[in-house]
Amino acid sequence: MDYIWSILPSLLDGLKMTFGVFGLTLLGSLPLGMVVAAALRSDLDVLRGIMNVYIWIMRGTPLLLQIVFVYYGLSLAQIATFPRFEAAVLTFILNYAAYFAEIFRGGFQGISQGQYEGAKVLGFSPFQTFKLIILPQVTKAVMPAIGNEVVNLVKDSSLVYVIGLGDLMRAGNIAAARDVTLMPYILVGILYLGLTAVATIVMRQIEHRLNYYR
């Protein structure tokens, strides 16, 4: 018990990093995903092509590779050198935006043409139609899938430890190696379970709020 108390501060410190990566990634990737989804619906073939290649690469390669590539790779090739945290957050945003864009794309496809027509004959502008008619329905439709990704992000954030960022995973690793015990890993596991449980409950709550109509 004393041992747990002794390593808890360092784990909680790691938790801050985990929260940072998690929060900034959501903050950046949700809007970016929406923009990419909009670009996927554009009339410009070139733009759609670029977006499809971007999504294909982001979803077709491991996130771990992408993190290492952005942090070490770009630096080795002398293209760009990012600090660890910036490299991690940038990669996470680009990666998750691709997944979110796919989800939003599906959400937009599920809206019937009739909704656009109904709005148009009432005189709504395209922007009003998007904001008042389409977006709320898309939001409801994508929420379960977004929820899954949010829970995944909690766990994926542990990947930042490969570039030496002091997150929860790394804090556990250091303690386990130093004290030669299994205990830190168990604690880290419990903390992740708690985080994913909270994320799941929050997302379910949001879904539930949107369930007042069909």
Q: Using CB under 8 A as the criterion, which residues of the chain lie in contact with other proteins when the complex forms? A: 112, 114-115, 117-125, 128, 132-133, 136-137, 140, 212-214
- To other proteins, the closest distance from the beta carbon of 75 in angstroms equals 48
- To other proteins, the closest distance from the beta carbon of 33 in angstroms equals 21
Q: Which is nearer to other proteins, 19 or 124 (CB)?
A: 124
Torsional sign, CA 30, 27, 206, 125: negative
Q: Which is nearer to other proteins, 16 or 209 (CB)?
A: 209
Q: Rg of the chain over CA atoms, in angstroms?
A: 21
Residue 67: exposed, middle, or buried by beta-carbon count in 10 A (0-12, 13-18, 19+)?
Answer: buried
Q: Helix 2-40 to helix 135-156 angle, to the nearest 10 degrees?
A: 140
- To other proteins, the closest distance from the beta carbon of 112 in angstroms equals 8
**114: Cβ contacts below 8 Å, ≥ 6 apart:** none
Q: Do the Cβ atoms of 168 and 158 come closer than 8 Å?
A: yes
Q: Do the Cβ atoms of 129 and 119 come closer than 8 Å?
A: yes
Altogether, the residues listed in the chain come to a count of 214
- To other proteins, the closest distance from the beta carbon of 204 in angstroms equals 19
Q: State the amino acid at position 164 in one-letter form.
A: G
Q: Which is nearer to other proteins, 31 or 110 (CB)?
A: 110
Q: Which is nearer to other proteins, 81 or 125 (CB)?
A: 125
Q: Which is nearer to other proteins, 121 or 182 (CB)?
A: 121
- To other proteins, the closest distance from the beta carbon of 214 in angstroms equals 4
